Amino acid sequence: MANILVTGGAGYVGSVCCRRLLELGHSVTIVDDLSTGHADAVPSGAKFYRFSIDDRSHLSALVQSQRFDAVFHFAAKALIPESVTNPGAFFDANVRSGISMLETIRAAGIRRFVYSSSAAVYGTPERTPITETHPKEPVNAYGESKLMLERALEWYARAYGWGVASFRYFNASGAADGAGEAHDPETHLIPLALQASMGLREYLEIYGADYPTPDGTCVRDYVHVLDIADAHVRVFDRLQEGVAAAYNIGTGTGHTVREICSAIERVTGRKVPVRVGPRRPGDPAVLCASPKKIMEELGWNPTHSSLENIIASACQWQESMLASEGYQTQAGGQCAS
């Protein structure tokens, strides 16, 4: 069994992946500064250290104190609208801090690295579904910062013999193991639409209904967080010295914003009130993955990623969180099991 260092392991995807690693018998050490993560998301059985990945003193002491077999890197700033208006913060957190971390772990002799990247590296697609060889032309600083660290990792693999896998997520969603989407502020469609259906917000704002899509709203490929975690554990034993590989994590099927709202209404029995607003800067019309490479090379399949399962799990998690805080949701409807 392996000893794995996980950055951002108190976050949404990172915490689910940590639980999966622990279930398989691996040792897990989490580094997270809790700027966006949550202490209560740290799974039982994992060691936890609260500091930033660019804190070289603390990180160096940790990685020099024991032998780590690999690093799984989830820590990042990830709010796309903010990256458009405040790009410097994203290059600082995702690139500068990332390189600082890479140099620290390189000094400790760690050479296997799994990176949580993003479909935002592609920008506005020339064709869909998007393959890994598609041109990379990000339309926001978040995507650019993710791509910059991907490219740095390619050089680390070439120069230092690292084995690297970069996973380009297409809309992580759903809930598992007590972990769901809890961003502050919340900007992701499914939790926002669920909140509107529960009466926790007056309406869901749709950012643009004039895109060249079937109903004018943006199309996205939604993949369950459990399937993302599965990809990470599958790739660990397949990392090759001197090779930086990139994989899309998606289903190959896209859904419009209005289709998501309709699915939530079917699953929950509650209406999703909407209001159409202007387009949001940095939003491509369509982002839909080709998952062919990860299926062929890692034997991966999105077994948990039906839209109904994604929505039902997210709804159940949302309602359990609200109940624990004493909130009452809008009467009527329920989450499908």
Q: Which residues pair with 6 in a beta bridge?
A: 30, 72
DSSP label of 160? H
- Sequence-distant (≥ 6) Cβ neighbours of residue 134 within 8 angstroms: 122, 125, 126, 127
Q: Which two tokens stand for residue 163?
A: 């084995």
The catalytic residue among 12, 142, 156, 169 is 142
Dist. CA 294–CA 51, nearest whole Å: 33
Give one DSSP letter per residue of 46-74, joined into a string.
-EEE-S-TT-HHHHHHHHHHS--SEEEE-
Q: In terms of C-beta distances under 8 Å and separation of at least 24 residues, what long-range contacts does 88-94 make, across chains too?
A: 90/141, 90/142, 90/144, 90/145, 91/141, 91/144, 91/145, 91/148, 93/145, 94/142, 94/145, 94/146, 94/148, 94/149
Q: Cα–Cα distances in Å, from 250 out to 118, 143, 285, 323? A: 11, 17, 17, 32
Known catalytic residue: 142?
A: yes
Dist. CA 200–CA 315, nearest whole Å: 13
Residue with tokens 């405040």: 86
Residues tagged active-site: 142
